[in-house]
Amino acid sequence: MVTTPFNPRTVIPDQKYRIAVRNRLGMPLCERDDKCRVVQRDRGRWDADPRRPVGKHPCGKMLLPHADHAQGCARQEIYDRHDGVTDLCAAIIMEDGHISDTETEVPGVPSSTKKEPIRADVLVRERAPGTWTAAEIKVRHSFKGTGELAFTDAAQTDEMLRALEAEVHAHYRPVHVRPWIMTSLGRPGEEMCTDLRRLARLRLRRPDVANAVSVQSVQQLLLHRWRAELSCALVLGDAQIYLAALEGECHQGGRGGPPPADVHVYELQGNRLMT
């Protein structure tokens, strides 16, 4: 929220920025008598004519001032928030030279809980001598429908994040998975922080960093950029959820991945691209 935009991935439009600031400061997003405008699609009967147009109507439920009803109602926008963070996770992993694909089945590995193929948010083929790994993305809203915090202190939030990490490991077993779990306010789980540091260390081994003047400075640069980009992706997705409730259908559709950005590391003394 306080980082100056330094690439296309860290730009937040004014409307979404205002929503994010009001939400972070605990300020109301709407009036008490406003109604949810999330577009709901009528569920046709099993024998309905498939050629008949699908009906649409606004949700219509009364919103409380903080509009947290949207976090359970705007399902498409919730999926879009997840996809935005997932696509950025895949892009960060590819900076390390790995091959990554989103929403892909893990080859030949059924889930230990559902007995069906595991579908990874991000499936990673690491550089040799690495193997298949996966990343699972989860975002959990920090507030109740009344606008009150769901957890009274940071310790409870961290315990919730650890419990979700354990669930992810149980679901993916025997596949090696790295959970990227965070709250809607951007508090990351311990394993996500650990993985970002691991990726930064791997990035230091790439040719464009090998001759950098200060490897430590490059590591700080990477962590700063990645954390800022992830925070912005989360803010953009979260604000879109509230906009769906406040203004109606605004889903853009499609999944184009994160905006392009300069991800090269420059030699720090001469401002020269390392090769």
CA distance 55 to 53: 6
User: Cα–Cα distance between 161 and 156 in angstroms, integer?
Assistant: 9
Residue 112 lies in a domain: yes
- Which token pair is 110? 């059924």
Closest of 127, 88, 87 to residue 104, by C-alpha:
87
Number of domains, the chain: 1
Task: Going residue by residue through the chain, which has 275 residues, state the pLDDT in tens, using 9 for 90 and above.
Answer: 566 788 889 999 999 999 999 988 889 999 988 999 998 876 554 445 555 555 678 899 999 999 999 998 999 999 999 999 999 999 999 998 899 999 998 877 776 666 778 889 999 988 777 788 999 999 998 777 666 777 778 899 999 999 999 999 988 888 899 999 999 888 999 999 999 999 999 888 887 776 665 666 788 888 999 999 999 999 999 999 999 999 986 655 556 678 877 777 655 555 554 44
Report whether 20 contacts 238 (CB < 8 A).
yes
CA distances from 176 to 9, 85, 105, 169, 229 (A): 29, 20, 14, 8, 25
pLDDT computed for residue 208 by the predictor: 73
Buried b (16+ CB within 10 A) or exposed e, 73-95: bbebbbebbebbbbbbbbbbbeb
Structural element, H or E, at residue 124: strand 117-125
Q: Which residues on neighbouring strands pair with residue 180, listed in sequence order?
A: 137
Listed residue (130, 131, 127, 89) closest to 106, CA to CA: 131
Structural domain boundaries enclosing 244: 8-40+59-256
- The partner residues of 117 in beta bridges, in order of sequence, read 110
Domain membership of residue 263 (yes or no) is no
Beta partners for 58? 39
CA distance 90 to 209: 20
Contact call for residues 91 and 257 (beta carbons, < 8 A): yes
Q: Which has the closest alpha carbon to 261: 241, 233, 238?
A: 233
The tokens describing 256, both together, are 């184009």
Residue 209: inside a domain: yes
Q: With contact defined as beta carbons under 8 Å apart, do 88 and 263 qualify? A: no
Label residue 69 left, alpha or beta by phi (over 0 means left) and psi (-120 to 50 means alpha).
alpha
Distance CA 170, CA 162 (A): 13
**46 within domain boundaries:** no
Alpha-carbon distance 99 to 87, whole Å? 13
Is this prediction's pTM over 0.75? yes
Overall size of the chain counted in residues: 275
Residue 271 belongs to some domain of the structure? no
Residue 49 lies in a domain: no
Residue 54 covered by a domain: no
